[in-house]
Structures are given as structure tokens and as C-alpha cells.
């Protein structure tokens, strides 16, 4: 049966380069993999008092349930001040605070894109560290950093850079194999 992949974009902006990168990942997947890009902008700021008084907010409960059902998660995110965008970290923090841990044993692939030349090299290891704590099974290689990303996608959000398309395709092939390997382990 087809692999069900959740796509999370670390940027909320409509013209996000990372949203374009996520769509590139979706269209670069092997035939038996399908991505749904899941929106999470309604997730409120984390507040342990809210959690204690009211339980998980509906937006968080829905996001947790969607991730729990998935065979894998692709996170495409920018780097903010050398690290994880606060709202993405906030969403992961909420997801981590339920009765179970939706990210536990979940295969995750990371893509980062920036208009600058380094492609988000610094955020990747911070995100990997956070995903360690929630027991995710993050794909190690190939790593995908899309530097100079504004030059690599056209106005319609299509990737015009052949090398980038190849890197992302190779990563999604590796991700399919990684998902199979993790399933064998669990």
C-alpha cells in the first residue's frame, strides 16, 4: 500500500521558498509515496497552564492525530537566526506533550532552503537534536540544503535547477528505503 507522508513547512508565508521545496519533495517521491502538506498555523503559543486546564487545543490534537497516522514526515524549514523558526519549534513542543509521542519511531526527512548561499546548514542540526528528544527516526543522508533558493524556483514555485531536483529525488528515494528499514525495526 502507498506510503502516507505528512509535509510540514517551517515557514507560514505564502511565497515561502521552503513551501516550494516541500512541493518539490512531494513531486520527487517514488510512485508509492504521497505527501499531504499539513497546515498548522492555528497552533497557539505553548502554555502548560492551558494544557493543564483545557487539555490539548483542537489544532494540536488534529496535528498530532495526522502525524500519528503517517508513515513518515518531511519537514522543510528556513533557518531563523541560525536555528529553528520559533513557531515550528512551538508546534513540535505542543505535539510532544500528549499521552503518547506521535513522533516516536517516526521516519522524518529534513529539507532546508534559504535565499542565502548556505541553504540552512545551521538549522538542520538544531532540528535533528530536537527530533532526537521526541524519539523520531530522522534520515541522516543524503542531506539537502538548498542555498540561493530564490534563484532555483520560478514564479510558479517550480524548481528550475536540475542539481536541486536530483538531490531531492535522491533524498526521497533514500527516505522510502529508510521508512521500510524503520518498519522492519519496529
Signed CA dihedral, 129, 135, 141, 145: sign only: negative
Figure out which of the listed residues 114, 124, 164, 171 binds ligand FNR, where binding follows CB under 6 A: 114
Q: Could you give the C-alpha distances from 106 to 22, 48, 122, 160, 184, in angstroms and in order?
A: 18, 25, 23, 31, 13
Cis amide prior to 142 (ω within 30 degrees): yes
Binding part of the chain for ligand FNR, among 8-16, 25-33, 101-109, 174-182 by CB under 6 A, reads 8-16
Residue 7 interacts with ligand FNR (CB under 6 A)?
no
How large is the C-alpha radius of gyration of the chain? 16
| Nearest residue (CB) to ligand FNR, 64 versus 152 | 152
- Which of 16, 28, 164, 171 binds ligand FNR (CB under 6 A)? It is 16
Q: Let me know the angle formed at the C-alpha of 92 by 185 and 158, rounded to the nearest 5 degrees.
A: 85
Are β-strands 3-9 and 72-77 bridged in parallel, bridged antiparallel, or unpaired? Answer: parallel
Identity of the residue, 25 or 176, whose beta carbon is nearer to ligand FNR in the bound complex: 25
The residue from 57, 98, 115, 142 that contacts ligand FNR (CB under 6 A) is 115
Q: Work out whether 133 is an interface residue with ligand FNR (CB under 6 A).
A: no
Judged by CB under 6 A, the residue of 5, 17, 73, 109 near ligand FNR is 17
For ligand FNR, the binding residues (CB under 6 A) are 11, 13, 16-18, 78-82, 114-116, 118, 120
Amino acid at each position: 500500500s502507498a506510503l502516507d507522508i505528512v509535509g510540514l513547512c517551517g515557514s507560514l508565508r505564502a511565497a515561502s521558498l521552503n513551501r516550494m521545496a516541500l512541493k518539490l519533495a512531494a513531486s520527487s517521491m517514488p510512485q508509492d509515496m504521497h505527501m499531504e502538506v499539513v497546515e498548522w498555523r492555528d497552533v497557539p503559543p505553548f502554555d502548560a497552564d492551558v494544557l493543564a486546564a483545557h487539555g490539548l487545543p483542537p489544532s494540536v490534537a488534529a496535528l498530532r492525530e495526522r502525524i500519528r497516522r503517517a508513515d513518515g514526515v518531511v519537514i522543510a524549514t528556513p533557518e531563523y537566526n541560525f536555528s529553528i523558526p520559533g513557531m515550528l519549534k512551538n508546534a513540535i513542543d505542543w505535539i510532544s506533550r500528549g499521552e503518547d509521542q506521535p513522533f516516536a519511531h517516526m521516519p522524518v526527512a529534513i529539507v532546508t532552503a534559504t535565499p542565502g548561499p548556505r541553504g540552512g546548514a545551521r538549522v538542520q542540526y538544531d532540528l535533528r537534536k530536537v527530533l532526537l528528544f521526541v524519539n523520531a527516526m530522522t534520515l541522516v543522508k543524503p542531506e539537502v540544503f538548498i542555498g540561493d533558493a530564490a534563484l532555483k524556483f520560478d514564479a510558479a514555485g517550480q524548481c528550475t535547477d536540475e542539481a536541486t531536483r536530483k538531490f531531492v529525488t535522491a533524498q526521497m528515494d533514500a527516505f522510502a528505503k529508510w521508512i521500510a528499514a524503520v518498519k522492519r525495526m519496529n
